[in-house]
Amino acid sequence: MRVLVYGAGQLAQMMYLAGAPLGIEVEAVDVNTETLVHPVSKLPLEATLAQAIEAADALTVEFEHVPEHLLEQAEKSGKLMPSMEAILVGADRVREKALLDNLQVANCPHRIVTQLDELDRCLQELGDKLIIKASRDGYDGYGQWRLTEAAQLEDIKASLSGLNLQQVPLIVEQMLSFDRELSLIGVRSKSGEIKVYPLTENLHYQGQLHVSVAPAPGVTQAIWQQAQEIFTRLAQGMQYTGVLAVEMFQCGDTLLVNELAPRVHNSGHWTNSGSDTSQFENHLRAIVGLPLGDTQARTPAAMVNIIGCGAFSRDLLSIPGCHLHWYGKTVREKRKMGHINLTADNYQQLGNKMAQLAGYVPSEAFPMLPDEAEKLS
Ligand code: ATP
Ligand code: MG
Ligand code: MG
């Protein structure tokens, strides 16, 4: 079987690695050059894009910001999963908020802004701590402006003045003081079967995911029920096929959805070590029509992103249950270079292993590690 992935980054690479034992051949499309490449070596492949679409059993994406003409071409084949509509929900915060509101899924208080002077009213209505997000093309916290006091409004307006808000509106959100960030990764098959992984707790630094812990410690039955209901409502509402990631804020006993990713997700990378079937394998199984695999956690697991850093000792592999996933990219500041998965028999041991890991890596690139290690152990 063949699967064509739009995007040729690490997520395509990890789908390729998951597909190999199943006999599923994964090819990647470099969406800038519109050519086919091998998902690991990134070397060009023989076929044209049109030939590869024809030969594929399923088409999918590793990121949501795929140019629309390519999505249209893919959708026409009848083999794109999830659908173009679901991918556009992930790519456009205006569509995303509309879907959440239509399906009555609780989300962050927000306004859609198409003219800069509407920001004054946002301040009055949402309070004077705001996060302003470009509705398209943002990731890892890029395309966001934070307003923490009303006096910053004029400066922020000045920095937004070059944007065409009629074409790409802003989403202005109330800045929440949530208890923590959680995500739910789940998968829906073509026939509508749904399986979800346990909730994952996510630690961000400067708008970027640094550490995930799964199953998220201390999840109450009420929160777990809510999370499953949210996932089911979204996946059914979109008639979704494949893996879907739902990012949420926990505020007391309530979950508010932050955003959706219509694909495998960084906060699900722990599933390669901590669960029976990884998110990558389950995504492939769903889109080619194979039975879904078990999504339960086998042990507590942590995923630590390697960001903007390539120089560290590979001796970290001496920690039992420690696995390195290196993406083979050129090091750049703030770039996700790879990740490290850790598993342990219990949370305390997981904390101890995180503390050990901190001894192998430069502390400035891993600012969340010591505190999280301490919290768990
Ligand atoms: P991603 O890489 O996850 O796609 P992104 O650039 O799309 O990131 P968001 O997920 O919307 O951006 O925001 C990044 C982070 O900023 C969140 O994980 C959270 O830590 C913080 N954040 C976003 N929105 C809010 C909010 N309304 N209130 C408080 N914090 C927020
Ligand atoms: Mg995002
Ligand atoms: Mg996010």
Task: Give pLDDT, residue 141.
Answer: 83
Q: Give the binding-site residues of ligand 1, using a 6 Å CB cut-off.
A: 108, 131, 133, 138-142, 173, 175-176, 181, 204, 207, 247, 258-259
pTM of the predicted protein model: 0.97
Q: How far is the CA of 349 from the centre of ligand 3 (A)?
A: 28
Residues 225, 165 within the same domain: no
Q: Identify the burial level of 50 via C-beta atoms within 10 angstroms of its C-beta, where 0-12 means exposed, 13-18 middle and 19 or more buried.
A: exposed
CA–chain centroid gap for 14, Å, is 14
Task: Give pLDDT, residue 99.
Answer: 98
User: Quick one: tokens of 323?
Assistant: 């696995």
3-state DSSP assignment of residue 178: coil
Task: Give pLDDT, residue 354.
Answer: 98
CA dihedral 358, 362, 364, 367 (to 10 degrees): -20
Residue 98 lies in a domain: no
Residues 258, 359 within the same domain: yes
> What contacts 307, CB < 8 A, 6 or more positions away?
208, 210, 334, 335, 336, 337, 365
Task: Give pLDDT, residue 164.
Answer: 93
The DSSP code sequence of 207-266 is TEEEEEEESPTT--HHHHHHHHHHHHHHHHHTT--EEEEEEEEEETTEEEEEEEESS--G
Task: Give pLDDT, residue 2.
Answer: 98
Residue 100 lies in a domain: no
Residues 226, 191 within the same domain: yes
328, β-bridge pairs: none
Q: Which residues are annotated as a binding site?
A: 93, 133, 138-144, 173-176, 181, 204, 258-259
> Residue 128: which domain range?
109-174
> What contacts 83, CB < 8 A, 6 or more positions away?
75, 238, 239, 240, 241
| Residue 327, domain CATH | 3.30.470.20
pLDDT tens digits along 2-21: 999 999 999 999 999 999 99
Report how many domains make up the chain. 3
Boundary of a domain, candidates 174, 194, 227? 174
Q: How far is the CA of 356 from the centre of ligand 2 (A)?
A: 31
Residue nearest to atom 12 of ligand 1 (CA): 141
Using the atom order of ligand 1, give the atom closest to the CA of residue 110.
27
Low-confidence ranges of the chain (pLDDT < 70): none
